[in-house]
Structure 1
Amino acid sequence: MTCRTASADDAELAAWLRLEQTDGVGPDTGRRLLAAFGLPSNIFSTSFSALQKIVPERVAHALLASPSDALLALIERTLAWQQQPGNHLLTLADSGYPQALLDIADPPLMLYVKGRAELLGRPSLAVVGSRNATVQGIANADRFAETLSQRGLTIISGLALGIDAAAHQGGLRGVAGNPDGGSTVAVIGTGADIVYPARNRELAHRIAEAGCIISEYPLGMPGIAANFPRRNRIISGLSSGVLVVEAALKSGSLITARMAAEQGRDVFAIPGSIHSPLAKGCHQLIKQGAKLVESAQDILEELSVLRGLAAPREVPDERAAAGKPDVTADGGQRLLAVLGYDPVSLDLLAARSGCDAATLNAQLLALELAGLVEVLPGAIYRRIG
């Protein structure tokens, strides 16, 4: 993929940055101006009357006003940023701008890219879900992403806590020691020089080295709430499909899934317990036509863009590699069978198992430490795996 470097015309990039930062100019207005006048430098040298035929009077005045000191400082800082190794500015006029985004209704005028920009042109899948994910949901996102990345599919997500972070981690493992791996791309809702949330700082650094971080927002842009739903169109737009792992009925992941459907992308969802609030969103998507998936292979068979790629490597079971504890000696295996796969309260579990409180608590603690059971809010227990 061809990207701008330090040798690019700074005056041209400065004009793109000025256009992007002009009050009243968003992706739609910017594209109409570019269609009418060509490159941004032409827009700023045209007449007020010509501009007024395309944009409102207020925007025409803003386009012809001299750049403020703050804007000039931002332009200077951005030009210096893009000269650093691994940093790129991609405009709609660049050959390296991802074709997948050119096909959506409102592609960003510019992309701030940090890391392996060539990943933006490869087959990819978005993996999204709840920030407050369960242990099982995080495990599902991680393992699906690792398997798909090993197959050569780039994993797209939003660097949020929960499912997003797990998907990125799985995507990175899929490329470790595997030159054909897909790695991962993080689409963020802040400036490319800011990590949000701060808890994902170390993960963001790993993505910048082995994957890619992109943003449509200028440097220094903080984590404003309105930016995150808007960036979801880029997550879905870059992808061949979107996998929703866990989502409540009002989850932002459902916005990403809706945008994916509107953009003509496939939507996949992992089902869960009928009692789990974080399965409700996935079940709603399945009712609306999303493809129910139980394994990464289900996705690989659906995405025609992957035909001809190498078969996935064997994914080791990490718990097996570490050695599973023997839970049969103290009745743990029987308790797992009694527990089943739906969330169960402690009182109901005691009634089913016939165990006294001390024995039950001891067995549950052992199973939890072994990674076989998770505790949900309200002393609700659920089997993992």
Structure 2
Amino acid sequence: MSAPRPPQTQEEWRDWLRLARSQNVGPVAFQRLLARYGSAAAALEAAPHLAARGGRRISLAPRGAAEAELEAGAKLGARPLALGGPDYPPLLAHIPDPPPFLWLRGRPELPGRRALAVVGTRNASALGMRFTQGLARALSEAGFVIVSGMAEGIDRAAHAGGLEGGTLAVLGGGPDDVYPRRNADVYAKLIDQGAVLSEAPPGFRARAQDFPRRNRIVSGICLGTIVTEAAERSGSLITARLAAEQGREVMAAPGAPLDGRAAGCNHLIREGATLIRHAADVLEALEGIGGPQAPSPLPASPSFMEEPGEEQPPEDAPEGEDARSAVLRLLGPVPVEMDEIRRRTGLPPGVLALAALELELAGRLLRSAGDRVALAP
């Protein structure tokens, strides 16, 4: 089954956004619904019935709210990007949970170019920031877009180094959310010379829980993630872990053992991350997966979470209730891989996928990175 066609008309954009913003419709559920029903309009009709089979009602995003968001984005000069569309970041489309909808402000070509994430601590040392800015500049000159999160410290230095060649920030809030406010100057330069990406609507202000979800986009856009300075509990290590789960290169700059701001990088290296001292080390690490002169090979189109040869079971299949019960019995508060659920239940892939979709839409199953699921509180 081929990937569903991205929206073309204003009505299709509205329905696509409505589905993406509806209650309990996460990125995986969105893909499953489109793969099953072929269009956002058809999925919107089917979603309430599927949620009811999972045991609870679902609230669809209002038509007016989707239209208002599209108007707000247009007023900002932001471009909507749809999963499967020609302008969507190509590597991001192949992570397990790509955002179905993104807002882009700035240079439209940057998300499609080869990119590297450069991340680290907000509480950076002077040496750490100098190293980061120089590294980002050298990698930018080698043809890479520098991706970071527009935070203080290392992120700020990475954007400064990559500005001339092209740099992109992934925001935790909406495309107009300048956070922290001290980085208003960085945001202005990004809009003028670089770009910002966001999966949140205009006007949305980032909360603490939004940044880990943002980090999967930072790593997902890129061929690799570089951590230049980070404490042992730094959020940058979340980005590095997500990069590893997405099959991307993870690199780190070593630091003094007694410097707490180097503890996270040293830990990554001990766990197998590539040690880098300068841009040449990064280019060497990337030789086999798309260096400065060659693009990284990509699949022809997103998989939309399908299993090879998977057949879609009918919604009224008699085993549906048993399948949902079997899945629920195996779920707990700690996320577990879907592969483990598949092995334990022995359910056919299509039946398991439908049961998980119904439970997710009903708010009884939570998905997390790495194709893991847990029981919703």
TM-score (norm 1): 0.70
Q: Is the 8 A contact 1:91 1:109 kept in 2?
A: yes
Counterparts of residues 210-289 of structure 1 (less than 5 Å): 210-289=193-272
Q: Deviations for 1:248-302, whole angstroms, at most 9, x for unmatched residues?
A: 1111111111111111111111111111001111110001111111111111122
Corresponding residue of 2:59: 62
- Is the Cα contact below 8 Å between 1:19 and 1:30 reproduced in 2? yes
State the match for 2:348 in structure 1.
none
SS at match of 2:56: helix
Aligned residues: 286
Alignment of 1:1-385 (within 5 A): 9-46=9-46, 49=49, 51-52=50-51, 56-59=54-57, 61-63=58-60, 68=62, 72=64, 74-84=65-75, 86-172=77-163, 175=164, 181=165, 183-304=166-287, 305-308=290-293
Partners of 1:57 and 1:224 in 2: CA distance: 30
47 and 111 in structure 1: CA distance in 2 versus 1, 3 angstrom threshold = closer
Matched residue type, 1:122 = R
Deviations 1:155-200 (A, max 9, x none): 010000000011001100xx2xxxxx3x111001001121111111
Secondary structure at the aligned position of 1:117 is classed as coil
Report which structure shows greater RCO (CA 8 Å, sep ≥6): 2
Flag structure 2 segments of 5+ consecutive residues without an equivalent: 1-6, 295-377
CA distance in 2, matches of 1:307, 1:194: 32
1:86–1:116 Cα contact (<8 Å) kept: no
Give the whole-Å Cα distance in 1 for the aligned partners of 2:103 and 2:162: 21
Judging changes above 3 Å, is the alpha-carbon distance between structure 1 residues 76 and 48 closer, same or farther for their aligned structure 2 residues?
closer
SS in structure 2 of the partner of residue 83 of structure 1: helix
Does the residue aligned with 2:293 lie in a helix, a strand or coil? coil
How far residue 95 of structure 1 moved from its aligned partner, in angstroms, is 2.1
Structure 2 equivalent of residue 380 of structure 1:
none
The amino acid of 1:32's aligned partner reads R
Larger Rg, first or second structure (1 or 2)? 1
How big is the alpha-carbon RMSD for the aligned residues of Structure 1 and Structure 2? Answer: 2.0
* DSSP 3-state at the match of 2:59: helix
Q: TM-score, normalised by structure 2?
A: 0.72
Deviation track 1:27-62 (CA, whole Å, cap 9, x = no partner) reads 11111111111221112234854x358x73435x42
**Residues 305-353 of structure 1: CA distance to partner in whole angstroms, max 9, x if unpaired?**
12437xxxxxxxxxxxxxxxxxxxxxxxxxxxxxxxxxxxxxxxxxxxx
Give me the whole-angstrom Cα distance separating, in 2, the residues matched to 1:27 and 1:261: 20
**Whole-angstrom distance in 1 between the partners of 2:54 and 2:20:** 16
Q: Is contact 2:118-2:228 (8 Å) kept?
A: yes
TM superposition shift of 1:8: 5.4
